[in-house]
Amino acid sequence: MVVDVSHGNFVPVTALLGGSPSYIVDGIAQSDCELVAIEIIKLRKLLLEDAGVSNFFLEISLQRLQRILHQFVDTALLDASERIAKWLIDVARDQNAKLIDGMVIQLDISPRVVGLATAGMARETISRQLTWLVSEGIIERSKKSVKVLDIARLESLRDGTAIAHKHK
């Protein structure tokens, strides 16, 4: 079974465990993708027969664990301003080859995905932080995009060596 999933859309994922009843796991597509479902018995056989497939799943699992570890470290060590700056820079890097003043970052992602990417920040906190960055002259903000006016200050916020004055 193959299902096309549009960016930001809700994805119900049904998983089967060998012989036991099925359960539902929900997720959100972070980009346009194709979802492929395979019977667990066939997958287990393939994993045992093909080391390349096993290595593929191991690599995906390690990448996911690394992202979770980074989010944990960010939550523990970075304040809200630093987390928002880091998130903006990460999104900018995904969209552009070069980080420069005046670059525009498209933010056509759901608030829930933004909250997850910023280690669980509330939508109100994210909005407040973005508004503060505007007042500091670091970014300009529109409904679905952010224009970076001062990449050096944004990077210094991310690194905890902020040139901008911290707000209360």
Domains assigned to the chain:
2-74 (no CATH), 79-159 (1.10.10.10)
Q: Tell me the per-residue pLDDT of 70-116, one tens digit each, with 9 for 90 and over.
A: 878 877 777 888 888 988 898 888 887 688 888 888 887 766 777 77
Cα 32 to Cα 94: distance, rounded to the nearest angstrom: 15
Whose CA is closest to 86, among 150, 27, 156? Answer: 156
pLDDT at 163: 55
State pLDDT tens for residues 125-165. 888 998 999 999 999 988 888 899 999 999 999 888 875 45
Residues 32-48: pLDDT tens digits?
A: 777 777 777 888 898 89
Burial class (CB in 10 A: 0-12, 13-18, 19+), 118: buried
Query: Tell me, what's the pLDDT at 168?
Result: 43
Tell me the pTM: 0.60
Q: How far apart are CA 117 and CA 106, in angstroms?
A: 15
Determine the pLDDT at residue 150.
92
